[in-house]
Amino acid sequence: MKQNLELLMEMLAALPDPVFVLSESGKYLALIGGHDARYYHDGSHLVNFSLHDVMPKARADWFLQQIQQTLEEGRLRTVEYSLGAHEIKGMELAEGPEQDIWFEGRVQPLRRPFRGERAVVWVARNITEHYNMQRQLKTLSEQDELTGAYNRRKLMEALQERVAEFHRYSHPLSLIIFDLDHFKRVNDKFGHVSGDKVLFSITTLCNKQLRQQDLLCRYGGEEFAVLLPNTNLEDAVQLAQRLRTTVGSYDFEQELGESYSITISAGVSTLTPGDDIESLIKRADSGLYQAKNSGRNCVIEKARQL
């Protein structure tokens, strides 16, 4: 019997991930396992304290809510969250990972009350590596390899979200499609590799003019699209003009080895009630087509004909 108990204690102590027992009121009742300092900080000092004693209120509230919801549902729940050791009072920062950790928390109700309170077992697994890799993969799947701008897939995804938002909340949404003028001449004169450098620099130049929420995408070879949430037609045209003058006044000497200017032509459209993604794109495209036919280096707006 004693041997079995010893074995059980050994097993519990050797659990690779920390396992907390947390009460319904947010008290740390017990902690076992999670002793590998490569993955976890030592949280043994937390036992007998409450969540609200050791972490900022908003954080503690969140953990408490998870505990209470798990008890209410009476079944295993899985949650993901990031937590830095610096957010927990009394944590030994030097011993353990430096960065904030992404955790997967598996939260299971205990079958009976513990010290007079309902409680859960909370297994916290460090998933930082997995999380970062997933984020990296997501970024790669949304990005154009050459320029770092978003790709067409991301544009279509964002369009779907934003158009739905427009129909629900009437937030304005505009689209610019622009294309480099006579880009074939650049390739012919300086070579494809230099042309690639120009595409990269144009992406950088344009991104500097955009807000965080705007989305610059490489739409085709030398064609770009800019999705502008919360932007009406007038402001979108203004921005398109700014992109046009920014690119037009830039000297591509560094990219091409001699002083050289490149202009862009753009079409602009804005979403209206009853409109859809296809017609928004179509109008911006037709504005671009008209801009090319009007001598290039200009912006043409296309309002919807009702």
Ligand X SMILES: Nc1nc2c(ncn2[C@@H]2O[C@H](COP(=O)(O)OP(=O)(O)OP(=O)(O)O)[C@@H](O)[C@H]2O)c(=O)[nH]1
Residues annotated as catalytic are: 222
Give the per-residue contact string, 211-250, with ligand X (x = CB under 6 A; - = no): ----------xx----------------------------
Cβ atoms of 243 and 226 closer than 8 Å: yes
Q: How far apart are CA 76 and CA 65, in angstroms?
A: 14
C-beta of 187: minimal distance to ligand X in Å?
4
Give the per-residue contact string, 135-154, with ligand X (x = CB under 6 A; - = no): -----------x--------
Tell me the residue type at 173. L
Q: How far apart are CA 91 and CA 222, in angstroms?
A: 53
Q: Which residues have C-beta within 8 Å of that of residue 243, sequence separation ≥ 6?
A: 176, 178, 206, 209, 226, 264, 266
By CB under 6 A, is residue 208 in contact with ligand X? no
Cβ atoms of 117 and 67 closer than 8 Å: no
**Crossing angle, helix 192-207 and helix 233-248, to 10 degrees?**
130
Longest Cα separation, the chain = 92
Cα 269 to the center of its chain, rounded Å: 26
By CB under 6 A, is residue 298 in contact with ligand X? no
By CB under 6 A, is residue 195 in contact with ligand X? yes
- Nearer CB in complex with ligand X: 14/146: 146
C-beta of 141: minimal distance to ligand X in Å?
19
By CB under 6 A, is residue 192 in contact with ligand X? yes
Cβ atoms of 203 and 149 closer than 8 Å: yes
- Nearer CB in complex with ligand X: 221/248: 221
By CB under 6 A, is residue 285 in contact with ligand X? no
Supply 243's token pair. Answer: 């992109």
Kindly determine how many residues on this chain lie close enough to bind ligand X according to the rule CB under 6 A: 16
Q: How far apart are CA 101 and CA 81, in angstroms?
A: 8
C-beta of 227: minimal distance to ligand X in Å?
21
Tell me the residue type at 261. S
- Nearer CB in complex with ligand X: 63/183: 183
User: Looking at 31, 180, 233, 284, which residue binds ligand X (CB under 6 A)?
Assistant: 180
User: Looking at 182, 251, 257, 293, which residue binds ligand X (CB under 6 A)?
Assistant: 182
Question: CA dist 206 to 4, 225, 266, Å?
Answer: 68, 11, 13
Binding part of the chain for ligand X, among 71-79, 117-125, 136-144, 195-203 by CB under 6 A, reads 195-203
By CB under 6 A, is residue 181 in contact with ligand X? yes
Binding part of the chain for ligand X, among 29-37, 54-62, 190-198, 237-245 by CB under 6 A, reads 190-198
Binding part of the chain for ligand X, among 45-53, 85-93, 187-195, 270-278 by CB under 6 A, reads 187-195
**Helix, strand, coil fractions of the chain, as percent rounded to 5:** 45, 25, 35
Binding part of the chain for ligand X, among 40-48, 75-83, 125-133, 174-182 by CB under 6 A, reads 174-182
Tell me the residue type at 80. E
By CB under 6 A, is residue 34 in contact with ligand X? no
User: Looking at 187, 207, 230, 232, which residue binds ligand X (CB under 6 A)?
Assistant: 187
- Nearer CB in complex with ligand X: 181/214: 181
Cβ atoms of 237 and 191 closer than 8 Å: no
Q: How far apart are CA 263 and CA 292, in angstroms?
A: 11
| Residues at the contact surface with ligand X, assessed by CB under 6 A | 146, 179-184, 187, 192, 195-196, 199, 221-222, 292, 296
